Each structure stands twice: as structure tokens, then as C-alpha cells.
Amino acid sequence: MTPASPTAAPNAKGAADQNDRLQALNDRQKDLEGRLNQAQKDADKARVSDLEKQLADVKDELASTKTNAAADLAAADRQRAHDVARAQAQAANQAPPANTKYRRVEFQVATNDTAEIAPGISVDITRTDAMDQRFSGKVFAPEGRTITLREQSANSPVVFFARNGTDRYELVIKTVKNDSVSGYVLLPTG
């Protein structure tokens, strides 16, 4: 048997040290990978938490916006009701004197057409909405006056006066069709 060479022992010791070092590095790598995975999970949790907070903020803002929109719509409805009531009151206040006599003249005007409905009074209908019974257009009143009508409701009187302030006219569109309107105008006779 050959005695072990004196260099074999140091090589065995070096290999064992190297194995220990490799094992230590492997253990450290596993530890760092575990810590990295945990950090990623924690970061994902933080991102998820941040996104959940952002989502909650958006939901709160959406709910607030819906509440504000509902309040704005209710206020607009109240204002419209007030405006209608005021217009009706004004029309009632503009009632003709009891001793004034009127002549009723019936008419029909096609959409996108201008027609003279009574001497000195013409109507130009530019838009009709048969479903909602609304129309838009212009009334060319005596003495060159023009009255613009926007989204006027059927059966809502349009009252206007001659420049002298005494002759009262009342125009009423009774029926709105897709292609025409029909109604009457009250003309002072006295």
C-alpha cells in the first residue's frame, strides 16, 4: 500500500472547504430567493391595496356625482315647472279686455314652409316633433316684428301685441304632425 501523499490531505481539506462554501452559497441563494418571493408578494399586496383604495375613491366619486346629477336634475325640473307656471300666469294677465272682439282664423302650415295665416301675420315652421307635440319656427307679426319659437309645446298660446300696444294677437298650434302644424290665430276686430 502506498502511503498517502502529503499533498492529498490538503486537497481533501480544500475540497471539503469548497463544498462547505458551495453549500453556504446555495443556502444563501435559497434564503434570498425566499425573501425575494416574499417581497414580491408583499409588493403585490401593496399594489392590490393601492388599487383597492383607488377603486374605493372612484366609487365614492361616482356616487357623489350621481347624487349631484340627481339634485341638478330635480332643480332643473323645479325651475322648468316654475317657468311654466310663470308663463301661464303672464298669459292669464295678458287676457284680452272683455269688450274686445276677436276673429278666429284656422290654419295649417307645412314644415319648412312659410305661410301667411292672416293679413300681416306669417308663420315659418322649421322643426316638428309629433311624438312630444313640440315645434320650432318663427312668427312674422304685424309691423315687421319677428318672434322666434324654440321647442314650443302644442296648445301653448303665443301672445303678442302690435306696436301700438293695444292690439292683442294670440297664436295657438293645436296639432303637431311630422310634416305640418295646424292651429288658429285670434285677431282683434274692434
Instruction: List the chain domain ranges.
Output: 1-93, 97-188
Return the SS3 of 96. coil
* Three cell numbers written together for 165: 300696444
Q: Please give the model's pTM, rounded to 2 decimal places.
A: 0.49
Report the C-alpha gap between 126 and 136 in whole angstroms.
6
Report the C-alpha gap between 49 and 15 in whole angstroms.
50
**What is the amino acid identity at position 133?**
Q
Report the C-alpha gap between 143 and 160 in whole angstroms.
12
Report the C-alpha gap between 16 and 89 in whole angstroms.
108
Nearest to 104 by CA among 171, 181, 167, 184: 184
pLDDT value of position 173: 93
Report the C-alpha gap between 188 and 167 in whole angstroms.
6
In tens, the pLDDT along 103-151 reads 999 999 999 999 999 888 999 999 999 999 999 999 998 878 899 999 9
In tens, the pLDDT along 63-84 reads 888 888 888 888 888 887 777 6
Report the C-alpha gap between 27 and 33 in whole angstroms.
10
